[in-house]
Amino acid sequence: MHSLIQLSIVVLLLPLLSFVILIFFNRRLPRRGDFVGVGILGTAFAISAYIFWTVIVQTYDPAFRVAWDFTWIDLGKVPGIGHLQIKMGIVIDNLTAIMLAMVTLISLLVHLYSTGYMAGDKNYGRYFAFLGIFTFSMLGIVLSDNLFSIYIFWELVGLSSYLLIGFFFEKDSAADAQKKAFLANRVGDIGMWLGILILYSQFHTFSFEQIYANLAAGKFAMSNAWLTAAGLLLFMGCVGKSAQFPLHIWLPDAMEGPTPVSALIHAATMVAAGVYFVARIFVLLTPDALHVIAFIGAFTAFMAATIAITQNDIKRVLAYSTVSQLGYMVLGLGVGAYSAALFHLVTHAFFKACLFLGSGAIIHAMHHEQDMRWMGGLRRHMPWTFATFTLATLALAGLPLTSGFMSKDAILAGAIGFANVEGGGIYYLIPVLGFFSAMLTAFYMGRQIWLVFFGESRTHLKPADNHHHGLDAHSAHDDHHDDHEVHEVSWNMRAPLVILAVLSVFIVYSPNPLDGAEGWFMKMIKTPATVVGPANHNCTALHAETPSPLMAEAFPAVETHGATDAHAVTGGEHAAATGEHAFADPRQAEIAHAAHAAHFPAIYISSIMVVFGISLAGIVFVFRIIDPDKTAEAIRPLYLFSLNKWYWDEIYQSTFIKGSVLLSKILSWFDTNVIDGIVNGVAVLVRNLAFANNSFDKYVVDGLVNFTAFSVNTTGAVLRKLQTGKVQTYVALLLVVLFGYFVFYFTRLIY
């Protein structure tokens, strides 16, 4: 076993250990055991950092990959298949190493932050336990080398999300939100599960490596539509977990959880798992599937951004912004900007975590006030928070010199390239929606900054009846609640903000603030060669309509590669290690070229859009040149449409949820009345038959019986005389019979 594997197993199991210790012993430990959680995560992060250092910094090889597996379930010699084993395993490549470090770092920071934010909660210890199981599951997703274990950890992540969203379970809204989140995720999961089943039914393995090897070798026996379906169904898992349209509805509601949880789970890691998963299965996505993915991503990005501009709850704005940014990543993957999407995943994780933790600090300082309309002027009271929040906001909006700029720009460039390659038309909708969303992002983030930190405090404007206090920690504080006592938060909440803000600066990722491709990240994460499409001769038909001169060159080379070498997947990466892009799939190569060409246009357009967005927000909300309320009134239908989140919740409520409940009632009625009715009806029928039978019995059969009884009675009256009760009479009778027998016997003997 490679030493990195050993280390990664330790990293994986450490949070589980934290969970086990805290769930059972938190009440017996001092400080309810929060130091256990923080300490264990610190250790895990240290080890992850070492892994990161070894893999990324020391090895610096895009094709780096170590793997290890063990037999988990042995099904023996299965008829028709042969020896069937289900293996679990760990794979470490560059992406894993980066994700590992990112997840443990954010988790560590959130643990640390929570020691301040959650202090005094009655279930304080359990909170850290839940964070532990979440981190464990998330690391499991990151490290898995097969679909089955990813699915397992996927659901476990859903569970921990369920537990953490409903952490304040006494609030009905929290209980509703946790259920909604779990169910929405489940809907996504069944799609993912079906996708897994399609692949398994063909290859009888769950392992990525073997599935890809088999696909590359053209062993997929079903039609290509099934392969596209498999890709899309697997993508459904991502739709659920990464809150893509149409399953995005759970994420904003999930803000009912404690704010650090929102930072960890619903901004940085869990929702990114969907994107991570799509990246893992990227190579088996057919072009058709990728198109669908790209459109869903673009639509999600746009829709969420439009909703975010009208929300008043500070966390909800961030939640919709998360949905929107996740849409970007999915869009990126869909258009083939693989490394850009993952780059955005990482950068977004840091600055969005920073934003959420910052908003947590604000909420904490404002005594659980979440409505931005009643905030304002906080920059003077909370300078650290203000600084870090602003930096992260700029990164999210995508201003140059930030990490977000580089990653978003790379995605948009990819989108333009993609549209160019696909031949325009409707495909230009994708980059257009992307740029428009970028502008909206800048606008609503600008609005948030202006509303929260600038101007004067508007606490007093809040209508008295609108007071709503969460069941968050410190409800005792509300008694001596003073509006002017807004303080900067303590060090253990401030430190994470600073660290995350620093990680939002361009220099961490790339020396060139305008081009992420020059940084270590983009160099280490290369688009893997697809195993479907032209590389797979079964699938050539798919690409008959998009012939390319490059295809002819690439095709034979890869075919031999794929057929003989199980590592066909990494074939392209080996080539890439030499310094040049060498895409196995010509289409990918084309898009990469086009994206490269579109790099500078993208920069210009997006910068303009962002600056325009932020300025517009300033014009509207600070200088009030345009009155926001009047504008809203002027476009009221649109405003309401956005404020009510495009009415998705209502639509789902009235169709799926009401429909299900109604159907359940109908079926239950059917069960008790029809099916049981039939059963009881049969019983009644049988009973009536029995009654009919009974009357027959009474008059016909009973008549006979009575007659018999009568004759027996008469005979009995005669015979009764013989019943003297004297033994000897009986003996005499017995002997008479014996004698009779003798006589009978002898007469027979004689004649």
Partner 1 sequence: MLSLIVFLPILAGLVILAVPSSQKQIIRIVSLLAALAQGVLAVLIWRAYDPSLPGITASPGGSPLGSFQFVEKLPWISLKLGGFGSLNIEYFLGVDGISVTMVILTALISAIGVLSSWTIQKQVKGYFILYNLLASAMMGCFVALDFFLFYVFWELMLLPMYFLIGIWGGPNREYAAIKFFLYTLFGSVFMLLVMIGLYFSVIDPVTGNHTFSLVAMANQANYIKSAILGPDNVMWRFIAFAVLFVGFAIKVPMFPFHTWLPDAHVEAPTPISVILAGVLLKLGTYGMMRINFPLFPEVFHASMYVIGIFGAINIIYGAFCALAQQDLKKMVAYSSISHMGYVLLGLAAGNSEGMVGALYQMFNHGTITAMLFLLVGVIYDRAHTRQIDKFGGLSSYMPVYAAIVTVAWFASLGLPGLSGFISEAFVFVGAFSSVTTRYIAMVSVLGIVFGAAYLLWSLQRMFLGKRKPDAAYDLEVGADGHEHIHFHDWKGKIDLDARELTMLVPLVVITIFLGIYPMPILGMITTSVNRLVEVLTPLAIR
Partner 2 sequence: MSNLTYTLIFYIFAAITVFSAAFVVFSRNVIYSAFALLFTFFGVAALYVFLSADFIAVTQVVVYVGGILVLLLFGVMFTKSIMNTELKSDVLHIIPGTLILAGILSALLYTFYTTHTWKPSEIELHGSIVERIGYETMSHYVLPFEMVSILLLAALIGAAFLARFDKSDNKNL
Partner 3 sequence: MQHLIPIGLNHYLTISAFLLAFGLFAVMTRKNAIVVLMGVELILNAANINFLAFSKYNGGIGGVMFSLFVIVIAAAEAAIALAIVINIFKIFKSVDISSVDTMKE
- Give me the residues that bind partner 2 (CB under 8 A), please: 726, 728-729, 732, 735-736, 738-739, 742-743, 746
Q: How many CA atoms lie within 13 A of 395 on its CB side?
A: 31
Smallest distance from partner 2 to CB 746, Å: 7
Record the tokens describing residue 10, joined without a space. Answer: 């330790």
Q: Does 695 bind partner 1 (CB under 8 A)?
A: no
Q: Which residues fall within 8 angstroms of residue 384, CB to CB, at 6 or more apart?
A: 488, 489, 494, 497, 498
The pairing of strands 82-93 and 65-78 is antiparallel
Q: How many CA atoms lie within 13 A of 104 on its CB side?
A: 31
Pairwise CA distance, residues 648 & 656, whole Å = 11
Smallest distance from partner 2 to CB 715, Å: 22
Contacting partner 3 (CB under 8 A), which of 731, 742, 743, 745? 731
For partner 3, the closer of residues 695 and 723 by Cβ is 723
Residue 341's nearest CA partner among 424, 420, 285, 421 is: 285
Pairwise CA distance, residues 98 & 93, whole Å = 9
Smallest distance from partner 2 to CB 742, Å: 4
Record the tokens describing residue 288, joined without a space. Answer: 């058709």
Contacting partner 3 (CB under 8 A), which of 76, 79, 463, 725? 725
Pick from partner 1, partner 3, partner 2, none: which does 743 bind, CB < 5 to 8 A by kind? partner 2
For partner 3, the closer of residues 635 and 735 by Cβ is 735
Q: Does 664 bind partner 1 (CB under 8 A)?
A: yes
Pick from partner 1, partner 3, partner 2, none: which does 121 bind, CB < 5 to 8 A by kind? none
Smallest distance from partner 1 to CB 124, Å: 14
Smallest distance from partner 3 to CB 724, Å: 6
Pairwise CA distance, residues 280 & 275, whole Å = 9
By three-state DSSP, how is residue 74 classified? strand
Question: Which span (37-45, 72-80, 436-444, 499-507) binds partner 1, by CB under 8 A?
Answer: 72-80
Residue 430's nearest CA partner among 321, 301, 556 is: 301
Whose tokens are 């990482």? That residue is: 346
Phi, psi of 207 (to 5 degrees): -65, 135
Smallest distance from partner 3 to CB 723, Å: 6
Q: Does 718 bind partner 3 (CB under 8 A)?
A: no
Pairwise CA distance, residues 304 & 314, whole Å = 15
Pick from partner 1, partner 2, partner 3, none: which does 183 bind, CB < 5 to 8 A by kind? partner 1
Pick from partner 2, partner 3, partner 1, none: which does 739 bind, CB < 5 to 8 A by kind? partner 2
Smallest distance from partner 3 to CB 730, Å: 9
Contacting partner 3 (CB under 8 A), which of 650, 705, 723, 745? 723
Pick from partner 3, partner 1, partner 2, none: which does 727 bind, CB < 5 to 8 A by kind? partner 3
Pick from partner 1, partner 3, partner 2, none: which does 483 bind, CB < 5 to 8 A by kind? none
Pick from partner 3, partner 1, partner 2, none: which does 684 bind, CB < 5 to 8 A by kind? none
For partner 2, the closer of residues 669 and 741 by Cβ is 741
Smallest distance from partner 1 to CB 185, Å: 9
Smallest distance from partner 1 to CB 85, Å: 11
Q: Does 634 bind partner 1 (CB under 8 A)?
A: no
Q: Does 189 bind partner 1 (CB under 8 A)?
A: yes
By three-state DSSP, how is residue 75 classified? strand
CA distances from 265 to 106, 262, 356, 656 (A): 10, 5, 11, 26
Smallest distance from partner 1 to CB 300, Å: 21
For partner 1, the closer of residues 471 and 622 by Cβ is 471
Residue 234's nearest CA partner among 269, 200, 281 is: 281
**Secondary structure of 373-419 in HEC code, one letter for each residue:** HHCCCHHHHCHHHHHHHHHHHHHHHCCCCEHHHHHHHHHHHHHHHHH
Query: What is the size of the binding site for partner 3 (CB under 8 A)?
Result: 9
For partner 2, the closer of residues 563 and 738 by Cβ is 738
For partner 1, the closer of residues 189 and 559 by Cβ is 189
Q: Does 495 bind partner 1 (CB under 8 A)?
A: no
Pick from partner 3, partner 1, partner 2, none: which does 746 bind, CB < 5 to 8 A by kind? partner 2
Whose tokens are 């509006």? That residue is: 483
Q: Does 713 bind partner 3 (CB under 8 A)?
A: no
Q: Name 93's bridge partners.
A: 65
For partner 1, the closer of residues 73 and 722 by Cβ is 73
DSSP state of 468: -
Pairwise CA distance, residues 573 & 566, whole Å = 14
Question: Which span (228-236, 359-367, 389-397, 717-725) binds partner 3, by CB under 8 A?
Answer: 717-725
DSSP state of 207: B
Record the tokens describing residue 295, joined without a space. Answer: 């459109």
Q: Which residues fall within 8 angstroms of residue 745, CB to CB, at 6 or more apart?
A: none
Q: Hey, what amino acid is at 722?
A: L
DSSP 78-97: ETTTEEEEEEEEEEEEHHHH
Neighbours of 126 (CB within 10 A): 18
CA distances from 113 to 164, 615, 658 (A): 16, 33, 40
Smallest distance from partner 1 to CB 696, Å: 23
Q: Does 201 bind partner 1 (CB under 8 A)?
A: yes
Q: Does 726 bind partner 3 (CB under 8 A)?
A: yes
Question: Which span (45-53, 87-95, 284-292, 726-734) binds partner 3, by CB under 8 A?
Answer: 726-734
Q: Does 463 bind partner 3 (CB under 8 A)?
A: no
Pick from partner 1, partner 2, partner 3, none: which does 477 bind, CB < 5 to 8 A by kind? none
Are 606 and 516 contacting, i.e. CB atoms less than 8 angstroms apart?
Answer: no
Record the tokens describing residue 275, joined without a space. Answer: 């994107």
Smallest distance from partner 1 to CB 175, Å: 4
Residue 381's nearest CA partner among 484, 287, 465, 286 is: 484
Whose tokens are 């600056």? That residue is: 611
Question: Which span (242-250, 359-367, 507-515, 718-726) binds partner 3, by CB under 8 A?
Answer: 718-726
Q: Which residues fall within 8 angstroms of residue 453, CB to CB, at 6 or more apart?
A: 376, 377, 378, 379, 386, 389, 390
By three-state DSSP, how is residue 66 classified? strand
By three-state DSSP, how is residue 462 classified? coil
For partner 3, the closer of residues 464 and 717 by Cβ is 717
Contacting partner 1 (CB under 8 A), which of 668, 695, 715, 724? 668
Pick from partner 1, partner 2, partner 3, none: which does 723 bind, CB < 5 to 8 A by kind? partner 3
Question: Which span (390-398, 528-536, 571-579, 727-735) binds partner 3, by CB under 8 A?
Answer: 727-735
Pairwise CA distance, residues 388 & 538, whole Å = 53
* Helix (H) or strand (E) segment spanning residue 19: helix 3-25
For partner 3, the closer of residues 480 and 726 by Cβ is 726
**Using CB under 8 A as the criterion, which residues of the chain lie in contact with partner 1 when the complex forms?**
72-81, 84, 148, 151-156, 159, 166, 169-172, 174-176, 178-179, 182-183, 186-187, 189-190, 193-194, 197-198, 200-201, 204, 660-661, 663-665, 667-668, 671, 675-676, 678-679, 683
List interacting residues with partner 3 (CB under 8 A).
Answer: 723-728, 731-732, 735
